[in-house]
Amino acid sequence: MKRLMSMVVLLALSVTAYPQEQGHLNVRTVVQKEQVKVNEKGEAESELVAADTVVPGERVVYTITFQNISEEPAENVVITNPISGDLMYVDGSAFGPGSDIQFSVDGGLTFAKATELTVTEDGTTRSAGAGDFTHIRWVMQQELAAGAQGVARFSAVLE
């Protein structure tokens, strides 16, 4: 019989952002978990709370905010976030307004749209699924104006 134990999880907060290297972006990542509460009408409502403790099967939500802190527009803004090995990406949960969302199945070496990725196991090639993704990348389609802010988000389940 499996015993579920409470785990304090250090969820991957490693985010790569370009052109952060040039000092243009201030990037912040917040990891929360979904908690379901019953409201006064007896209806279940989901809210996001701090992910201090996460147990297997719980859904966590990564929210990455980034702001152009320079006085010039930031071009070619790319936000890349790894998916920790103990997390399973929730299919279809990634979003980022004004971004092209791409995924990697090879540890972040290459990226493509989810529908374009394949994996090979035991000599058989198949379409990649949510459990195969190792990284998510948001590629901004327009420059980020001076002082402007953007957001990227995805959900995953602790295995």
Phi-psi region of 85 (alpha: psi -120 to 50; beta: other; left: phi over 0): alpha
Strand order in the sheet with 78-82: 16-18, 78-82, 135-140, 99-104
In this structure, the number of other CB atoms found within 10 A of the CB of residue 75 comes to: 12
If you write DSSP's letter for every residue of the chain in order, what string do you get? ------B--------EEESGGGT-EEEEEEEEEEEEEE-TTS-EEEEEEE-SSB-TT-EEEEEEEEEE-SSSPBPS-EEEEE--TTEEE-TT--B-TTEEEEEESSTTS--B-GGG-EEEETTEEEE--GGG--EEEEEESS-B-TT-EEEEEEEEEE-
Q: With 0-12 CB in 10 A as exposed, 13-18 as middle and 19+ as buried, what is 74?
A: buried
Average confidence (pLDDT) over 16-42: 79
- The answer to whether domain 16-158 has CATH 2.20.25.650 is no
Q: Which is nearest to 65 in space by CA: 156, 151, 155, 143?
A: 151
Record the pTM.
Answer: 0.82
Give the model confidence (pLDDT) of 56-80 as tens digits.
999 999 999 999 999 999 989 999 9
Query: Mean pLDDT score of the chain, rounded to an integer?
Result: 86
Domain boundaries of the chain, sorted by first residue = 16-158
| pLDDT confidence of residue 29 | 92
Rg of the chain on CA atoms, in Å: 17
| pLDDT confidence of residue 46 | 87
| pLDDT confidence of residue 34 | 87
